[in-house]
Amino acid sequence: MKRKKSNKYPVCALQAAVREVKKGKCQSKVSRSIGIPKSTLHDHSRGKLEGVIKKPGIDPSLNEAEKQGLINYMKYMASHGLPITLSLMKIFARAIVKRSGRPTRINLVHGPSKKWCCKFFARKPQLKKRRPDRADSGRMILSAEAVADYF
């Protein structure tokens, strides 16, 4: 089975070509001069693919703002001595997806899969997947006043 050819032209060139065709120039000449397939130019100029200029593939489960919010929360909790476990990360990701109300591939009952979480960590080099220390949470319970009172 042959692989589908990828676009060899920039999006701005396609938009310029569509404008030229809409002004009344010949589609064949414009497609040859810019290097865009005639059928692609025809479809875009006729409005069949109105606004369909996007990256190939499926839409991500979390948008960039939601991903950054999850990362910031994970960093905040880790800096306060309570790092997020994988199961908590799944719960937070599921809550974010539920709150957004968008259709998604994430299971709204069980949350994202372990594979999704591992790939999330792989895409975000600023995050490290480590086992939290047991003593950290106990140390965070104490306040500066309690230590000062003891001594």
pTM over 0.75: no
On whether both 101 and 131 belong to a single domain, the answer is yes
In a domain, 51, yes or no: no
Residue 2 confidence class, pLDDT cut points 50, 70, 90? low
The span from the CA of 14 to the CA of 49, in Å, is 12
On whether both 82 and 37 belong to a single domain, the answer is no
On whether both 40 and 112 belong to a single domain, the answer is no
Work out the number of other CB atoms within 10 angstroms of the CB of residue 139: 9
Read off the pLDDT of residues 14-30 as tens digits, 9 standing for 90 and up: 888 888 888 888 888 88
Domain that holds residue 132: 64-150
What is the total count of domains within the chain? 2
In a domain, 121, yes or no: yes
On whether both 37 and 68 belong to a single domain, the answer is no
In a domain, 52, yes or no: no
In a domain, 39, yes or no: yes
In a domain, 137, yes or no: yes
On whether both 32 and 93 belong to a single domain, the answer is no
Tell me, what amino acid is at 64?
Answer: E
Tell whether the model's pLDDT for residue 47 goes beyond 80.
no
Read off the pLDDT of residues 96-133 as tens digits, 9 standing for 90 and up: 988 888 888 888 888 888 888 888 888 888 887 776 66
The span from the CA of 102 to the CA of 108, in Å, is 11
